[in-house]
Amino acid sequence: RKESSAASDVYKRQDPHRAECEKMESLGLLKIFWVDSASCEGIAHFLYYIFQPMIDQKTKSRVRLKSLHLEEDSKNSATYQPS
């Protein structure tokens, strides 16, 4: 599998510059992950639902992800735990 040299970025689905971002993605300049909320909490939620199926598949359902903790920097973090 060929690795892309494009930078990966997270953008909110309602980004006012979405068309320009999609243009850069189509040129191979960016790899965009579109999320409903680009806050630390929103990205933790997004990542939880990306990783849980991967863990489930790799462990044949023996392991479940209880929560996901994301640290943006030393001043901002969020933990997502489904109810």
**Tens-digit pLDDT profile for residues 17-37:** 999 999 999 999 999 999 999
Q: What is the pLDDT of residue 55?
A: 97
Label residue 8 by pLDDT band (50, 70, 90): confident
CA 71 to chain centre: 13
Give mean pLDDT, residues 51-70: 96
Label residue 1 by pLDDT band (50, 70, 90): very low
Cβ-based neighbour number of residue 46 at 10 Å: 20
Token duo for residue 58: 């790799």
Collect all residues with Cβ–Cβ distance below 8 Å to 15 and sequence separation of at least 6. 21
